[in-house]
Amino acid sequence: MISFGYDYYSTRRDSRFDHKKHLRCCSACSVGKTCYQFLQEKSLQIDKYSFMMYLCYLVYAPLYIAGPIVSFNAFASQLDTPQKKFSLRSVAWYGLRWALSFCLMEMITHWFYYNAFVISGLWKYLSPLEVFIIGYGVLNFMWLKFLLIWRYFRFWSLVGGVEAPENMPKCINNCYNLESFWKNWHASFNKWLVRYMYIPLGGSKKKLLNVWVIFTFVAIWHDLEWKLLSWAWLTCLFFVPELIVKSAVAKFQVNNACGKFILREFGAVSGAITISCLMVANLVGYVIGPSGINWFITRFLQKDGLPVLGGMFTTFYVGTKLMFHIREAFLMRKGRKPYQHICMTHAQFS
């Protein structure tokens, strides 16, 4: 309803989307294909905003059951002209990759028992290291579970000629800042929130306030539980300092090797802190709950918990630097300077 109403309102008052600029910058649109953003921002004819079209949008099975979230504009524009961005071979390969991911899930559920420890409450009797391993395992299990659900229904919609956003475009273990993480976890919902909540609420001009409103909405959208609200507010608590630091780094100009080295190390340390905060927020939200916060603080600040914290932070620090190297190699293949990645990572949330 929100998508239909907002898109109709946007069409009536003329969209501010710069189509010419987008065609120049978009790699898909510049070669004659059509990307999802163009479909979403493209204004439709007024007669497309009919009750019958709205009903089709509501009950389209691949998206209605448990699929990615698609805006009304993007859905309606593909009914007359099915997507041509993905060839038959690409769609078939996408389905095969889903089948391989399903086999991986079967292996995990048979041989690893992370969720059993969480549901039974046995985590209370484990060491800090074991709790950390279980929390990390649960997070990866959740990522793979949702990837299977969303990719199955996206595959279904692609077979039917309707392109939907990829909900998990990046592996959970390849994200080292909160904004990058949330852009790549349920990405279609992120696009929906940006279009229908974040921008109407003021966009980047009120970013520090908007994150609290949006994450509270996301928690209630999932379910009205205290542990989900705690997860949302903890995420915001960690998110706000990151936004402030990145805004400051954006104004910081570095032209010498020493400055670049310092900025790189600062980025790795920041990434390790961010991943640690993300782990804590998800431990509270999906493993120990709000009632376990005191237990968590007490256990991890004891003699046997401090080495675990140190080892965890060191692991995330090394992992962040490895992600830097992978990203730089990717940028070099595209002909961009590796150093641009560090600046973009901390200033523009690459």
Amino acid at 160: G
In this structure, what token pair is assigned to residue 190?
Answer: 């992120």
> What are the residues whose beta carbons fall under 8 Å from the beta carbon of 183, sequence distance 6 or more?
190, 349
Query: Do 178 and 154 contact (CB within 8 A), yes or no?
Result: no
Give the residue among 102, 103, 130 at the shortest CA–CA distance from 118: 130
CA 169, 79, 159, 83 dihedral sign is negative
The distance from CA 318 to its chain's CA centroid, rounded to whole angstroms, is 22
φ/ψ (deg, to 5) at 138: -60, -40
Active-site residue flag, 341: no
Residue 278's Cβ-count burial label (10 Å; 0-12, 13-18, 19+) is buried
SS3 state of residue 219: helix
User: How many Å apart are CA 195 and CA 294, to the nearest integer?
Assistant: 38
Please write down the long-range contacts of 218-223, taking CB distance under 8 Å and 24 or more positions apart: 218/189, 218/193
Amino acid at 266: F
Query: Do 196 and 6 contact (CB within 8 A), yes or no?
Result: yes
Query: Do 335 and 282 contact (CB within 8 A), yes or no?
Result: no
Please report the beta strands in 176-275, taking only residues with DSSP state E, as ranges in sequence order.
none
User: How many Å apart are CA 223 and CA 286, to the nearest integer?
Assistant: 13
- Rg (C-alpha) for the chain, rounded Å, is 22
Question: What's the start-to-end Cα distance of the chain, in Å?
Answer: 31
User: How many Å apart are CA 283 and CA 293, to the nearest integer?
Assistant: 9
Q: Which of 186, 222, 325, 346 is catalytic?
A: 222
> Could you give the residue numbers annotated as active site?
222
